Amino acid sequence: MARKWGQHFLRHPAVAERILETAGVETGTLVWEIGPGAGILTAALRKQGARVLAVEIDPKLAAALRERFRGDVDFQLIEGDVLALSLEVLDEWDAGPWKVVANLPYNISTPLFFRMLAERRRWQSLTLMMQWEVAERLCAGPNDGKAYGVLALAAELGFERTLAFKVPPEAFHPPPKVESGVVHLVPVESGLSREEEQHLLNWIRCLFQQRRKTLFRNLRRCCPAWVQQAGEALRAQVQMRRPEDLTYAEWRTLFAWFCKDMESTTSPEAEC
């Protein structure tokens, strides 16, 4: 195994079957598999009748996968880095819709999620196995302490989220030091443009940088012109709450207020 890619290969077929059940894979389902590794999940997908386009970065594993699935017209492999891959390759094979099913290398889970978020109109669903801590953070809410933050809010912005099940270290080779989890994500519309979504997330990220301080104090640091303009009405709205206390809906309301006030004086991007 090339440890630089954070690979832990699934070795329990029962876990692969449960992932397929969670994803709702049927005969003819188009699946984009990221990091197939030794191919146990790939084999389960093909047995179920899915058409699989896989991306594998490890040259040795890619060669073994080509040999294993030689002659299978419903399996195609791309060798390369999924984070650098143009998603137009999906359209070249089939217009979709696609389901993403993957046992993700731990070290790309978060950056890959944000790419999937931006491109979510391509996906029917995403069923992803990742480090349990990251899975918890994706599905967290305001009552979940430190797990709740920018990642959870980004996930709620773009998806219906389900923390499906936990997977123990012994299900992998080599076994990781931590547990893994499977999340199931179904894309939803936010009502914002892609640019507005990015601005919202950047704004939230700024205000979470000092998450244990009050939101009003963080607003004074990140958005001083707005705090001066909104004054006591803003203080009364947020009171002594911290960033981690607000629901996604409350963040959206606050952001809409911020944008409305700022658009008459300067661009919101310039303010925060």
Confidence of residue 39 (pLDDT cuts 50, 70, 90): very high
The b/e string for 215-243 (b: 16+ C-beta within 10 A; e otherwise) is: bbebbbebbeebbebbeeebeeebeeebb
Cα gap 106→61, rounded to integer Å: 17
Angle between helices 13-23 and 40-47 (to 10 degrees): 50
Which is the CATH superfamily of the domain at 3-187? Vaccinia Virus protein VP39 (3.40.50.150)
Q: What is the H or E stretch that residue 52 is in?
A: strand 51-56
Q: Is residue 213 predicted with pLDDT exceeding 60?
A: yes
In the chain, domain spans: 3-187, 194-271
Please determine, for residue 24, whether its predicted confidence score (pLDDT) is greater than 90.
Answer: yes
Between 1.10.10, 1.10.8, 1.10.760, 1.20.144, what CATH number should domain 194-271 receive? 1.10.8
148-190 per-position pLDDT tens digit = 999 999 999 999 999 999 999 999 989 999 999 999 999 999 9
Closest of 67, 73, 68, 25 to residue 50, by C-alpha: 25
Give the helix/strand (H/E) hosting 183: strand 180-187
Q: 239 or 251, which is more confident?
A: 251
